[in-house]
Chains A and B, each alone.
Chain A
Amino acid sequence: MKTNRFLLLLVMPAMVLQSCKKDEPVETTAISNNVSLVITNKVNGQVLDMAGGTYTNAFGNSFTVSKFKYYISNISFKKADGTQYIVPVQADKSTNYFLVDESVHASKTLTMAAIPEGDYNAVTFLIGIDSLRNVSGAQDGALDPANDMYWDWNSGYIFLKMEGASPDASNNQLTFHIGGFQPPKSTLRQVTLPLSAENITVRKNIAPEIHLFANLEKLFEGPSVIDFSVQSAALNGPDAVRIADNYQYMFQIDHVHNIVK
């Protein structure tokens, strides 16, 4: 009996400790690793230089860039067998919502944790923020309205901001703030990029990196060639949709890294 009570005293703290555990998913043995998208913003093949770079758009207007920010969200990876792995969003974090800002170096590497082991041959994402998150009230992290990417007068996120100057623009200024999530004037665009040269291979010891270029000049060419003397700004509506129809072709895979670590 004495031993029994002694045992019970031992067990009590253990029970207490045990009971403190949150209801986390049972630890599985599934192998996973990080995958990162590493973005380089470019213009006409040159690395974007906001300090002194002067560029020419497809119409022939010269321009400079002072701000380049955009949202990437809802990232998923496609396996060779056609199945899709959608990066889950944690309840308390915006882990599948990223704000890429040319002026913030760290923002150009988008790291997603716990991607299951496997070979993936394509990456898919949204330029912008899905409609649900546009109407989900006050949010944190990448979706904090303090990031200057939210319209207070017309509720919703600004998906992409490009600001700069051009001698051909009225007032010399370029102000492209592209947003709007409601069809038919949605500027949300889905991009799928096949990894044609080399799949990414997520392994216990391989955390792949996908290196992409975001080609800024594409905002002003493609379906619609933009003449800055005609259009030097856009917010929501048809002018913005025209830019969105262009920016869906902005991204390009450069190469992938499957380095054993």
Chain B
Amino acid sequence: MLHSKTVILLFVAWLLFSVSCKKTDPAVSEPDDELTLVIPDGYPQPVYQFQNNPLTKEGFELGKKLFYDPVLSKDNSISCGSCHQQFAAFSHSGHKVSHGIYGLFGKRNAPGLFNLIWQPTMMWDGGVTQLDLQPMAPITNPIEMDETLPHVVAKLQADPQYTQQFKNVFGTDSITSALMFKAMAQFLGMLNSTNSRYDQYERGEAVLSADELSGLQLFRTNCESCHREPFFTDFSYRNNGLDTAFADSGRAVITLVADDLGKFKVPSLRNIALTAPYMHDGRFETLSSVVHHYRNGVENSSTLDSSLTAGISLTDEEASKLIDFLHTLTDVSFITDPRFKEPQK
């Protein structure tokens, strides 16, 4: 009898011992199953390392709130979502370049935001090499949001809702720029578009029309060398023959190398039907004008990509089929995903 009591006591002691060894701060949220990052079959491992920024539902929600909150701009007028709209695959629909703060115009076309965790660099010139710090560029750019990081952090710190949310996610209500960026990276890193009709076709879940399939073949023959599957970009920088002289030096702004003059990052063609207008300066309104450029409009210059010296030869019929195929890269589930919608105030 006494013996069994001792055993029970020992068991209780062991329980206490094991419980008390847990390191996890109860205030810090546990990774949430609803938000597991799924890497589709055939995709490489992401460049972005979530193990340095553990993904949680609360962290994602905080990042989303920041993304849609104009508090990130100097006069509280513009949010990230102002120029990155979900229905346009997080590009800025119908804008060659975006309006920033005070009605000022930007210099380059706002790209769609998706599959960012696989991108080795961000921006048309590849100047930003880390997803964590990407939002700093628009936040501090005088013609975009014109804010300073200390001021943004102070505004967040003064908002009890934010301090509570930061505490829930990171276990501290002392907000820093690093924590803000980590929360935003959790939202941005979940914006993944891998479920277009093309993807469903590749997985054997959908069929493409005869014209779309011909377009796919034409794509693979003529475009794949730069717009490589599955991301529909090889992440390289190329001059695709827009100009003979360069109003925007492009990649050379970063590398300071003359060979990079007029080169820009090859954009993904995923969701391309949703992200007009096209090119770094938004000069083409339609996909047919883009295809027309490659067929008849390539301008020669010293840095022109060697694959384009003769342009791309396509008949009108082929051009039309190619465009049919490009429409299969639209990911309806991505642009309607309720998880990514602007939260109700």
Report B-chain residues with C-beta under 8 Å of the C-beta of A137.
52-53, 130-133, 178, 181-182, 185
Return the contact of B254 from the options A19, A138, A154 (Cβ within 8 A): A154
Report B-chain residues with C-beta under 8 Å of the C-beta of A139.
178
Complex-state Cα separation, A22 to B178, whole angstroms: 25
Q: Are A135 and B130 in contact (CB under 8 A)?
A: yes
Complex-state Cα separation, A236 to B253, whole angstroms: 10
Q: Are B13 and A150 in contact (CB under 8 A)?
A: no
Complex-state Cα separation, A237 to B177, whole angstroms: 28
Complex-state Cα separation, A138 to B131, whole angstroms: 9
Complex-state Cα separation, A71 to B137, whole angstroms: 22
Return the contact of A146 from the options B2, B130, B150 (Cβ within 8 A): B150
Q: Are A138 and B256 in contact (CB under 8 A)?
A: no
Contact digits for B164-179, partner A, Cβ 8 Å, 1 yes 0 no: 0000000000001111
Question: What is the size category of the interface that chain B forms with chain A?
Answer: 35 or more
The B interface is mostly helix, strand or loop, or mixed, namely helix
Q: Are B127 and A145 in contact (CB under 8 A)?
A: no
Report A-chain residues with C-beta under 8 Å of the C-beta of B123.
153
Contact digits for B6-25, partner A, Cβ 8 Å, 1 yes 0 no: 10011011001110110100
B206 at interface (Cβ–Cβ under 8 A)? no
Complex-state Cα separation, A261 to B254, whole angstroms: 52
Interface residues of A in 166-224 (CB under 8 A from B): 185
Interface residues of A in 1-54 (CB under 8 A from B): 1, 4-5, 8-9, 11-12, 15-16, 19-20, 22
Report B-chain residues with C-beta under 8 Å of the C-beta of A19.
17-18, 20-21
CB-CB under 8 A for A12 and B136, given A137-B53, A145-B177: no
Q: Are A152 and B136 in contact (CB under 8 A)?
A: yes
B128 at interface (Cβ–Cβ under 8 A)? yes
A254 at interface (Cβ–Cβ under 8 A)? no
CB-CB under 8 A for A153 and B127, given A5-B9, A19-B17: yes
Complex-state Cα separation, A153 to B18, whole angstroms: 49
B307 at interface (Cβ–Cβ under 8 A)? no
B5 at interface (Cβ–Cβ under 8 A)? yes
A-B contact count (CB 8 A): 96
Contact digits for B116-137, partner A, Cβ 8 Å, 1 yes 0 no: 0000000100011111110011
Complex-state Cα separation, A145 to B152, whole angstroms: 12
A155 at interface (Cβ–Cβ under 8 A)? yes
Nearest CB on B from A180, distance (A): 9
Name the CB-closest residue of B to A153.
B127
Name the CB-closest residue of B to A143.
B178
Q: Are A1 and B2 in contact (CB under 8 A)?
A: yes
Q: Are A4 and B6 in contact (CB under 8 A)?
A: yes
In the A-B complex, list the 8 residue pairs whose CB atoms are closest, starting with the nearest: A146-B149, A138-B181, A137-B132, A138-B178, A152-B136, A155-B129, A152-B137, A138-B132
Q: Which residues of B contact A (CB under 8 A)?
A: 2, 5-6, 9-10, 12-13, 16-18, 20-21, 23, 52-53, 123, 127-133, 136-137, 139-141, 148-150, 153, 176-182, 185, 253-254, 256
13 contacts between A and B (CB under 8 A): A5-B9, A11-B13, A12-B12, A19-B20, A20-B21, A138-B181, A144-B176, A146-B176, A146-B177, A150-B136, A153-B123, A185-B256, A238-B256
